[in-house]
Amino acid sequence: QMGRPFAGPPLRPDNGHAIGGGQGAPAHLEPLMSEPSHPPVEPPTENRLLGGRIVLRQPARGYRAGLDAALLAAACDARVGDRVIEAGCGAGGALLAAAARRTGVVFTGIERDPEALALAQGNVALNGMTAQVSVLSGDVTAGFRALDLPPFDAALANPPFFDDVRALRAPA
B/e letters for 101-132, b = 16+ CB within 10 Å, e = fewer, are: bbeebbbbbbbbbeebbbbbbebbebbebeeb
| 82 alpha carbon, distance to own chain's centre | 27
What are the pLDDT tens digits along the chain (172 aa)?
445 444 544 444 444 444 444 444 445 544 444 455 555 668 999 999 999 999 999 998 888 888 888 899 999 999 999 999 999 999 999 999 999 999 999 999 999 999 999 999 999 999 999 999 999 999 988 888 888 899 999 999 987 665 555 655 555 4
* pLDDT tens-place string over residues 36-65: 555 566 899 999 999 999 999 999 888 888
Backbone region of residue 106 per phi and psi (left: phi > 0; alpha: psi in -120 to 50; beta: other values): beta
